Amino acid sequence: MTELIGPDSLELLGNTLVNLIAEKSVYISDIDFKKLTGDEITEFGSEGRLMMGNLAAATNCTIDTTSGTAVFTKRPARPTAGVWTTLSKQKADADQSDPAKLSA
């Protein structure tokens, strides 16, 4: 179930979104949207919608405003295990084969 929140500032909304559990949703009303951004939620292309979209992206969330409210849903974290190890090993192997890097 999606929970209605009423943050007093963009910072509090951001903190809520950062701490949101993967695949869970919260929403703010159109009144809160206007209070936080200064723009109506229905104004397509407004600075407020851009700001909320950027906040959602920065906190790994999606945002949906089609219902007249701003619904934020946390994306699941992507598995990254092994990615850095593989790349680091390839770089180390490449460095070992380059005499110029060995003497540096």
Separation CA 79–CA 14 (nearest Å): 23
DSSP 14-83: HHHHHTPPTT-EEEE-HHHHHHHHSS-TT-TT-HHHHHHHHHHHHTTEEEE-TTSSEEEEEPPPPP-TTH
> What are the boundaries of each domain within the chain?
3-74
Q: Tell me the CB-side half-sphere exposure of residue 36, using CA atoms within 13 A.
A: 25
Instruction: Count other C-beta atoms under 10 Å from residue 31's C-beta.
Output: 11
Q: CB–CB of 75/61 below 8 Å?
A: yes
Q: Is the pTM of this model over 0.85?
A: no
52-98: pLDDT as tens digits = 999 999 999 999 999 999 999 999 987 655 555 555 555 556 656 65
Q: What was the pLDDT predicted at 96?
A: 62
Instruction: Specify whether the CB–CB gap between 28 and 13 falls below 8 A.
Output: yes
